Structure 1
Amino acid sequence: MFKKMIMTIVALFLFLPSWSQAGSFGNDDPSGVPGQWYVGTTPSYVAPSKQPILFVHGLNSSSNTWWNENNMYDTAYQNGYETAFIDLYPTKNMWDNGALLAQKIREIYNYYGEKVVVVAHSKGGIDTQSALVHYGAFPYVSRVITLSTPHHGSQLADLAYSSWAGWLAGILGSKNDATYSLQTGYMAYFRSETDQHVNVNKNPIYTFGGTKWGGFGSSLYWGGLYLWGYGSNDGAVTVNSSRLPYATELRVGDWNHFTIKEGSSTFNLFRDYLNEGTTNSSGAKIQSSEHSSSYNTETASYVRGGETNGKKQEKVLVEEGAESVTFDWMSNIPSSRLTLEDPKRKIHSSFKVTKDEGEYFNGAYHFTLTIPNPVPGEWTLQSTSVNSEKYLMDVTFESPVNDAVNVNIAQGEISLKKNDIKLDLQQDITIEYYKNGKVKESKMKLKDGTLKLPKLGEGVYNVTIDIDGAKDKKKFKRTFIKTIYVDQTGKIFGQ
Structure 2
Amino acid sequence: MNQKKALSRLLAAVTLSTALVYPQAASAAAPPPALHDDNPSGHFGDWYTGAVPPNASKDKPVILFVQGLHSTYTTWYTTDGFYDAAYNAGYRTAFVQLKDADGTGGNMWTNGAKLAEVIKKVADYYGVSKINIIAHSKGGIDTQTALVHYGAHQYVNVVHQIATPNKGSELADLAYSNWAGWLADILGKKDDAVYSLQTSYMANFRSQTDNRTEIRSTKTYMAAGTGDDGMFSPTWFGHAAIPGEDDGAVSVESAFGLPYGIKSFTKDISHGQIVKASNTWNLVEPKLQKASIRANKVSEDKSKSSTLEESSVILRGGEVEDTVSETFFLESGIDQFNLDTMTSSEDTVVTLISPSGKKYEADRSEKSESEDESEIFKGAVHNFIEVEEPEAGEWTLEVEGSDDAFFMVGSVKGGEEAKVKASKKVFKKGDKAKISVDMGKNEIDQSLLEKANLTRSLNGEKASVLDEVKFAIKEDELTGNFTVPTKPGVYNLSFDITGINEDGEPFTRSINYNFAVTDRDGEIEE
Q: Which residue of 1 aligns with 2:23?
A: none
Contact 2:218–2:293, Cα closer than 8 Å, also in 1: no
Query: Counterpart of 2:90?
Result: 80
3-state SS of paired residue (1:296): strand
CA distance in 1, matches of 2:77, 2:499: 50
Query: What is the aligned partner in structure 2 of residue 470 from structure 1?
Result: 500
Paired residue type of 1:108: V
Per-residue CA deviations over 1:130-180 (Å, capped at 9, x if unaligned) read 000000001111110000000000000000001111111111111100000
Correspondence for 1:489: 520
Letter in 1 for 2:217: K
Instruction: Decide which of 330, 335, 346 is 1:323's aligned counterpart.
Output: 335
- Asked if residue 390 in structure 1 is aligned to residue 421 in structure 2, the reply is no
Distance 1:353 1:276, change over 3 A: closer
What is the aligned counterpart of 1:442 among 444, 459, 467? 467
Does residue 241 (structure 1) correspond to residue 254 (structure 2)? The answer is yes
State the distance in 1 between where 2:404 and 2:52 align: 51
Displacement of 1:384 in angstroms is 2.8
Are the aligned partners of 1:434 and 1:440 in contact in 2 as well (CA < 8 Å)?
no
Q: Distance in 1 between matches of 2:84 and 2:209?
A: 34
Structure 2 SS opposite 1:131: helix
User: Hey, what does 1:479 align to over in structure 2?
Assistant: 510
Residues 43, 239 of structure 1: CA spacing in aligned structure 2 closer, same or farther, 3 A cutoff? same
Sequence identity of aligned pairs in percent?
35
Aligned partner of residue 313 in structure 1, secondary structure:
strand
Instruction: Report the TM-score when normalising by structure 2.
Output: 0.83
Cα separation, 1, equivalents of 2:465 and 2:66: 36
Hey, what does 1:3 align to over in structure 2?
none
1:394 partner letter: V
**Which of these residues, 270, 284, 294, is aligned with residue 270 of structure 1?**
284
> Can you list the C-alpha shifts for 1:244-302, whole angstroms capped at 9, x where unaligned?
12110010111110011111111111212223745659xxx999599897542111111
Q: Write out per-residue CA displacement over residues 22-54 of structure 1, whole angstroms, 9 at most, x where no aligned residue.
A: 34759x9x9981111111111102223200110
* CA-CA distance at 1:21 after TM superposition: 3.0
Residue matched to 2:313: 301
How much has 1:450 moved relative to structure 2? 3.0
Compared with structure 1, are the counterparts of its residues 34 and 366 closer, same or farther at alpha carbon in structure 2 (3 Å cutoff)? Answer: same
Amino acid at match of 1:239: V
Deviation (angstroms), 1:492: 10
**Structure 2, unaligned runs of 5 or more:** 21-26, 474-478
CA distance in 2, matches of 1:413, 1:160: 23
Number of residue-to-residue matches in the alignment: 475
Amino acid at match of 1:259: Q
| Alpha-carbon distance change, 379 to 492 in structure 1, aligned in 2, over 3 angstroms | farther
Shift in Å, 1:477:
1.2
Over 3 Å counting, the alpha-carbon distance change for 1:152 and 1:176 in structure 2 is: same
Q: Deviations over 1:367-401 (max 9, x none)?
A: 0111121111122222333x432111111112331
In structure 2, what is the Cα distance between the partners aligned to 1:327 and 1:14?
Answer: 40
Q: Counterparts of 1:488 and 1:289 in 2: how far apart (Å)?
A: 21
Contact in 2 for aligned 1:49/1:275 (Cα 8 Å): no
Q: CA-atom RMSD, angstroms?
A: 3.1
Gaps of 5+ in 1: 1-6
- State the alpha-carbon separation in 1 of the partners of residues 299 and 180 from structure 2: 32
1:416 aligns with 2:436: yes
* Residues 66, 73 of structure 1: 8 Å contact kept: yes
Aligned-partner Cα distance in 2 for 1:190–1:234? 23
In the alignment, the residues of structure 2 paired with residue 232 and residue 149 of structure 1 have an alpha-carbon distance, to the nearest angstrom, of: 14
**1:92 matches 2:72:** no
Aligned to 2:166: 151
> In structure 1, what residue type is equivalent to 2:316?
R
Query: Does residue 231 of structure 1 match 2:244?
Result: yes
SS at match of 2:74: helix
The offset of 1:440, in angstroms, is: 5.0
**Counterpart in 2 of 1:433?**
456
What is the match of residue 363 of structure 1? 379
**Greater CA deviation, 125-134 or 339-348?**
339-348
TM superposition shift of 1:305: 1.1
> How many angstroms apart in 2 are the aligned matches of 1:455 and 1:474?
37
Cα distance in structure 2, aligned partners of 1:263 and 1:393: 34
Deviation at 1:435, TM superposition (A): 8.8
Letter in 2 for 1:237: V
Tell me the secondary structure at the aligned position of residue 248 of structure 2: coil
Structure-2 residue corresponding to 1:460: 490
- 3-state SS of 2:375 partner: coil
Deviations 1:302-348 (A, max 9, x none): 11111122322222321122221111111010122222221222222
**Match of 1:414, as an amino acid?**
K
Amino acid at match of 1:183: Q
Please name the residue that 1:65 is paired with: 75
- Aligned pair in 2 of structure 1 residues 434, 60: CA closer, same or farther (>3 Å)? closer
1:4 match? none
Judged with a 3 Å threshold, the aligned counterparts in structure 2 of structure 1 residues 314 and 146 are, in CA distance, closer, same or farther, namely same
- Verify: 1:56 aligned to 2:71, yes or no: no
Give the Cα–Cα distance (whole angstroms) in 2 for the partners of residues 446 and 491 of structure 1: 29
Partner SS, residue 129 of structure 1: helix
